[in-house]
Amino acid sequence: MATDSYELNHCMNYSTLFAVYLLAISCKINDHEISDRREKFSQAPIPGRIKDIPLPEGYERIAPDENSFGEWVRSIRLKKDNHVYLYNGSLKKNQVAQFAVLDITVGKKDLQQCADAVMRLRAEYLFDEERYDEIVFKDNNSKSYAWNEGSNKKNFTNYLERVFACCGTASLEKQLKPVDLQSMQPGCVFIKGGFPGHAMLVADMAVNKKGMKIFLLAQSYMPAQDIHVVKNPLHEKLSPWYELDGINEIVTPEWTFYTNQLRKF
């Protein structure tokens, strides 16, 4: 009986060691796979600006109106590093949602989230155009937050942080005007106001000879993070572009919108 017990324990010890060995090998393989995926991801070529993101074959970009918000957005530079960082400097956990990252600061506070990123870009555009009196955002109680310091860039960041703290998707949705899907232009916004809600910016558009349109989407998210152009999770060959025609919903890596949620400034 003692011998049987010894042999049983002996076999169990070997079984345990073998299981640990297999687990170690599995973990090592997974680590290598993850490392390979990260390496391939980090080595993906990054174009210079949003308007340089490659098009699918047969498509040409739709030129927005001169000096428009859409034209300004298309000209935003992209970072060479396409990893998304949070406001505190750490990497976002989900590193597979983005195609490219906009070269726009996120700040050091957990403020510049989804609607805030849209308001940030709109405000920066109006500031660059010296249309200072148009830089106005409203909170959910319709209280206005207007920029009234002209070209004083030094205080502009403080102003934006106040806007981010007081305004959000619910208030921005009220401020924007509904637009028909077929009238989409770069600079339009998909938005669902609420707690939580979400907002994404139409960053660029293109059309083929058949009149079929495609578009790019950019977002920030929670916590506050780098603004980034997202991939298309349902159409790998078309990604990061999205089809406009014949859709009922827009499925993005972290949110789903409906076609009646398109707005414009």
Question: Given this model, what pLDDT does residue 28 score?
Answer: 37
The whole-number pLDDT of residue 35 equals: 37
**Nearest one of 242, 219, 193 to 56, comparing CA atoms:** 242
Task: Judge if 33 and 51 occupy the same domain.
Answer: no
Amino acid symbol at 156: F
Cβ-based neighbour number of residue 265 at 10 Å: 16
Q: Is residue 188 domain-shared with residue 234, that is, in the same domain?
A: yes
Is residue 35 domain-shared with residue 109, that is, in the same domain? no
> How many folded domains does the chain comprise?
2
Do 119 and 195 fall within a single domain?
yes
Say whether both 68 and 189 belong to one domain.
Answer: yes
Tell me the three state secondary structure of residue 4.
Answer: helix
Cβ neighbour number for residue 220 with a 10 Å cutoff:
28
Only one residue has tokens 């070209």, namely 151
According to DSSP, the β-strands at 198-208 and 59-61 are antiparallel
Quick one: 31 and 92 in the same domain? no
pLDDT tens, 156-187? 999 999 999 999 999 999 999 999 999 999 99
CB 165 within 8 Å of CB 156 = no
- More confident site: 176 or 38: 176
37 & 116 share domain: no
| Domain identity same for 31 and 52 | no
From 27, 43, 59, give the residue that closes a domain: 43
Contact between 122 and 69 under an 8 Å Cβ cutoff? The reply is yes
Residues 28 and 77 in one domain: no
Same-domain pairing of 100 and 132:
yes
pTM of the full predicted structure? 0.83
Residue with tokens 């007081």: 166
pLDDT at 257 over 80: yes
Strand residue runs (E) in the chain:
59-61, 98-101, 136-138, 144-146, 177-178, 189-192, 198-208, 213-219, 228-230, 242-243, 249-251, 256-258, 262-264
Tell me, yes or no, whether 38 and 57 share the same domain.
no
pLDDT, greater one: 105 or 1: 105
Q: Which tens digit of pLDDT belongs to each residue from 213-247?
A: 999 999 999 999 999 999 999 999 999 999 999 99
| Domain interval for residue 20 | 1-43
Q: Is the peptide bond before 240 cis (omega within 30 degrees of 0)?
A: yes
- Name the pLDDT band for 47 (thresholds 50, 70, 90): confident
